[in-house]
Amino acid sequence: MALLVQKYGGTSVGTTERIEAVAKKIKKFKDNGDDVVIVVSAMSGETNRLLSLSGSISDEPEGRELDVLLSTGEQVTIALLSMALNKISCPSKSYTGGQVSIRTDNAHTKARIVDIDVRKLREDLDAGLVVVVAGFQGVDAEKNITTLGRGGSDTTAVALAAVLEADECQIYTDVDGVYTTDPRVVDSARRMDEITFEEMIEMASLGSKVLQIRAVEFAGKYNVPLRVLSSFKDGSGTLITVDRGNEMEQVAVSGVAFNRDEAKLTIVGVPDIPGIASKILRPISDQNIEVDMIVQNVGLDKKTDFTFTVHRSDYKRAKSVLDEVCKKLGAEKAMGDSNIAKVSIVGVGMRSHAGVATKMFEVLSDEGINIQMISTSEIKISVVIDEKYVELAVRTLHSAFDLSAETA
Ligand code: ADP
Ligand code: ASP
Ligand code: MG
């Protein structure tokens, strides 16, 4: 008998039929003697629908009101799933984030969990109930509803598993595990039996949205056994682990991630003097715009070019700030490009393998793909390329680093 926290994503609860199928699946665990706490997302497409409703009223809705709106999606699914469970004689009770209570800070639309009171959940579990909790939401100290950022139900599940000291946190989704790259882009992508926390955090933050980054960080920090599995077919999925098994240490690259959510900005011909980077980036960060990659060239004529990337949704604002900076610093011009993509290779094995970057660059150049920016860490190499080549780049790298199912 185990204590399991299971999270079912949007597609898995996308219709009432699917909700009933999930209820049947949960009942099997319960009949097997396991205690189960369930976390659900909104039905697929619902959060986007709510966002577009708010967008039709206001370009900049207040975070507080947006969270009241967005949290309704999950409230629908918890009630429906509890009804479906009760119908098949699997007694169940649903809770919103506030009712549990999942307390967060007050950063609306990207709140962080600070505390969870699990007394009620424990009482219900002891009474033999299946507890169904709304993902993605909490309440701040003033009882305002908050949400945890897109994909945040994963984090709700991991946080509950951590405080309940669950035996495993199982993320049920529409793919049967974590693959070497998005299986919807590369047919020959291979499911991994295991991936390390370190690699999963990199993959998630570089664009593989199969798990929310924060959920993986949380699981790593609190030692929560975390597994990604399919809602629709049986299998053992992918376990996120602390260490790689020995035989896997030979692999330099374990996955390819990509992200179309960024945009690139360049300021050309700025004076190459101390303090220039902060003069360019300070006004950007003052606008609460996060910067990802940064490249500054060496200037021969006491002038330099400075390039950085931001989230695509911040592109227009960042460009107008940079236009101002350009005037102030007497730079030649400010330019921008929102049709870029970031493609990354990830692997803890890179630490012990030389030449991985060279191979990556060669492979891309053989396909005629120009690299616009590069950034590296111990276990990843990212490049910025023209967005139109992203799928070609991902497929080519995936096969060049022998990640395909048939070559593994
Ligand atoms: P859910 O609604 O269940 O949370 P998501 O859409 O958030 O599901 O995450 C699952 C999706 O993640 C898959 O459908 C897949 O297209 C995508 N994905 C991206 N990269 C990967 C990867 N490396 N392995 C598996 N799935 C991936
Ligand atoms: N419903 C929210 C979203 O679409 C949270 C989640 O699904 O995890 O982002
Ligand atoms: Mg998700």
Asked if 211 and 228 count as a contact pair (C-beta separation under 8 A), the reply is yes
- Of 74-88, 347-361, 367-381, where does mean pLDDT reach its minimum? 347-361
User: Which is the closest atom of ligand 2 to the Cα of 212?
Assistant: 8
Let me know: does 64 contact 144? Beta carbons within 8 Å: yes
Instruction: List residues, by chain if needed, whose CB lies under 5 Å from ion ligand 3.
Output: 9, 151
**Nearest-CA residue for atom 4 of ligand 1:** 9
- For residue 287, the CA-to-ligand 2 centroid distance in Å is 26
Residue 59 · residue 27 · CB < 8 Å: no
Residue 297 clears pLDDT 90, i.e. is over it: no
Q: Write the CATH number of the domain with boundaries 3-174.
A: 3.40.1160.10
Contact 392, 182 (CB under 8 A): no
State the chain's mean pLDDT as an integer: 95
As a CATH number, domain 256-403 is 3.30.2130.10
Segment 324-353 shows an average pLDDT of: 94
Q: Is the CB of 182 under 6 A from ligand 1?
A: yes
Ligand 1 site, residue 237, Cβ cutoff 6 A: no
Q: Which atom of ligand 2 is nearest to the CA of 9?
A: 7
- Give the HSE-up count for residue 84: Cα atoms under 13 Å, Cβ half-sphere: 21
Residue 299 has pLDDT above 80, yes or no: no
- The domains of the chain are located at 3-174, 256-403
Q: How far is ligand 2, taken at its centre, from the CA of residue 171, in Å?
A: 13
Tokens of 359: 């191979």
pLDDT at 293 over 80: yes
From 39, 47, 72, the mutation candidate for ligand 2 (largest count of ligand atoms within 8 A of CB) is 47
- Residue 106: other Cβ atoms inside 10 A: 15
Q: pLDDT value at position 246? A: 57
| Three-class secondary structure of residue 65 per DSSP | helix
> Residue 302 above 90 pLDDT?
no
Ligand nearest to the CA of 155: 2
Does position 249 have pLDDT exceeding 60, yes or no?
A: no
Task: Find residue 342's DSSP bridge partners.
Answer: 259, 384
Enumerate residues 6+ apart whose C-beta is below 8 A from 279: 325, 329
- 10 CA: nearest ligand 1 atom: 2
As a whole number of angstroms, the distance between CA 406 and CA 408 comes to: 6
Tokens coding 53? 């409703």
Q: Is 68 helix (H, G, I), strand (E, B) or coil?
A: helix
Question: Which DSSP symbol is given to 363?
Answer: H
In tens, the pLDDT along 189-220 reads: 999 999 999 999 999 999 999 999 999 999 99
Cα of 266 vs centre of ligand 3, distance in Å, is 33
Helix then strand count (H, E) for the chain reads: 13, 20
